[in-house]
Structure 1
Amino acid sequence: MKEWKMLAVGNSFTQDSLYYLHDLAKAGDIELKAVNLYIGGCSLERHWNNVESDAKEYMYEENGESTERYVSINEMLVEDDWDYIITQQASHDSGIKETYFPYLEQLVEHFKSNVPNAECLLQKTWAYEQDSNHEEFPRYHCNQQQMYNQLSECYEEAAKRMGLRLIPSGDVIQSVRKKKPFRYELGEKSLCRDGFHMDMIYGRYLLSAVIYSFLFEKDIRENTFFPECAEREGIEVIKQCVYKMLNP
């Protein structure tokens, strides 16, 4: 059986996204090595600067587990035969167009020149919770819908310009926020744990479910993995929303 290999050049939002991915893949009979290069809040500009300086500033995380190993992007690109390389903008810059280029273009060209057989993808991140106290939320007038609209426009334009597939994580999150039991404005669960990072169970499961379904074209409704301490109602709502968003 082929082992799929994924490298994410990311930040804490990528950390949330990959947390349950290996578990879902295993339950779906897929062998997967999912590596995240983690620097909290890391932007596309900083990623590119780190490429140029060959900075060993990324904590190496594999299959949802952190290590004490610190690596550079350049060494990781040639460490394995990657099938996928995923990156994304830092959340605070996600809706600001001028923060994407030229850095995304430089990064993708660098990825492709070093790993020509890998598919490069963008992950569309998400808007903060409605009452988030994130210090950068005022850039979006502390308005979740405005942040979502702006980041959607930026990501979609960037993906089109670069010819990359866009993983629609932010879209699914915005859709699930309208469903019981995740209607936060009605006093139900928030998908965030602190106003911007994803909830440790439902939010992280949602993100991994999106990536699993998107990359491997699997029906998430048939996947048997179930996070510990989760309630079935919430997981089933997420499964249905993921399936519908990826199979319109």
Structure 2
Amino acid sequence: MIKILAIGNSFSQDATAYLHDIAKAAGKDTKVVNLYIGGCSLETHWNNIVADAALYDYELNGQSTGSKISIRQALQEEAWDYVTLQQVSGDSGILSTYDPYLGNISKYVREYAPGSEQLLHQTWAYEIDSDHPDFAKYHKNQGEMYRAITEAYHKLAKESSLRVIPSGKVIQELRALPAFDYPNGGISLCRDGFHMNCLYGRYALAATWFEFILQDSIIENTFLPGNGEEVDRSKIKLIKETIHGLRLFELLFTPGQSLSYDFDK
């Protein structure tokens, strides 16, 4: 069994909603846990660690359990294979907001889950007409926000020697395709201007994590979101082909090579 723990918020909730289901369709046994507090920043995560606060909704395999848990309790629950860390979306492109919290949390994870690989989860830019108050930090410009997030995660990956799950890059790549080109008549990958569309956006994120973490191809995977009833299979096929074309499954650690994703290729 592959065990994945996300220390995040609603953006990791979006990313993990379908991951267990996609893995199951591929015959892979997984345990996927998301620690959820809406809008939770790295600073708040660290403060909760210091207080050992059991404030997180414990989400298992994409479903709420109704249980509350602390980060320490979650880390001690399993011998995790992967632990993901991320900044709150509005601050993801502001490098100064990561220090010292990311380093402190990473050190804490190493203490309580020494056998895990820590991964940085790159968040995505808001939709062009998002009314999220933090969009103003990027002059309400999606391209500016994406570039700021990309630069921040690229720098952090180099400094911390952690690999980056390039969710933000995948979403931006999909937005360039006619089907998801929202300004020109395509559907938005967001449901409210910043959270992911529950069908295609969440599916794209889970497929990204699947190829990146589980090192398998999404192309022949049979899982469909929404019970397959309301989904446009041509759009799912397009998402699969786009993600697989980025060759995320090749991003393995090789001694002497960079652990960070080449966001510019």
2:46 to 48, 51, 62: 48
**2:84 — aligned with what?**
86
**In structure 2, distance between residues paired with 1:120 and 1:246:** 20
What 5-or-longer segments of structure 2 have no aligned partner? 249-264
**1:212 — aligned with what?**
210
Aligned residues: 246
Q: CA deviation at 1:246?
A: 2.6
- Equivalent positions of 1:90-109 (< 5 A) are 90-109=88-107
**2:233 — aligned with what?**
232
Q: CA deviation at 1:242?
A: 0.5
**In structure 1, distance between residues paired with 2:127 and 2:104:** 31
**2:256 — aligned with what?**
none
Q: Output the amino acid matched with 2:70.
A: S
Q: Indicate whether 1:164 and 2:174 are aligned.
A: no
Post-superposition CA distance 1:103-122 (Å, at most 9, x none):
00010111011111100000
Q: CA deviation at 1:180?
A: 2.4
TM-score normalised per structure 1:
0.97
- State the secondary structure of the residue aligned to 2:118: strand
**In structure 1, distance between residues paired with 2:45 and 2:162:** 18
**2:200 — aligned with what?**
202
- Structure 1 residue runs of 4 or more that deviate by more than 6 Å after TM superposition: none
**In structure 2, distance between residues paired with 1:103 and 1:95:** 15
- State the secondary structure of the residue aligned to 2:202: helix
Q: Output the amino acid matched with 1:235.
A: I
Q: Relative to structure 2, which stretch is displaced further, 238-247 or 125-134?
A: 238-247
**In structure 1, distance between residues paired with 2:158 and 2:52:** 29
**1:243 — aligned with what?**
244
**In structure 2, distance between residues paired with 1:216 and 1:82:** 14
**Residue identity (%):** 50
**In structure 1, distance between residues paired with 2:215 and 2:246:** 12
**In structure 1, distance between residues paired with 2:247 and 2:205:** 13
**In structure 2, distance between residues paired with 1:30 and 1:45:** 34
**In structure 2, distance between residues paired with 1:37 and 1:111:** 14
Q: Output the amino acid matched with 1:23.
A: D
**In structure 1, distance between residues paired with 2:28 and 2:152:** 32
- RMSD (CA atoms): 0.9
TM-score normalised per structure 2:
0.91
**1:190 — aligned with what?**
188
Q: CA deviation at 1:159?
A: 1.4
Q: Output the amino acid matched with 1:198.
A: M
What 5-or-longer segments of structure 1 have no aligned partner? none
**In structure 2, distance between residues paired with 1:160 and 1:181:** 34
**1:5 — aligned with what?**
3
Post-superposition CA distance 1:161-208 (Å, at most 9, x none):
111010000000000001121110112100000000000000000000
**In structure 2, distance between residues paired with 1:202 and 1:196:** 14
- State the secondary structure of the residue aligned to 1:181: helix
**1:173 — aligned with what?**
171
**In structure 2, distance between residues paired with 1:66 and 1:89:** 22
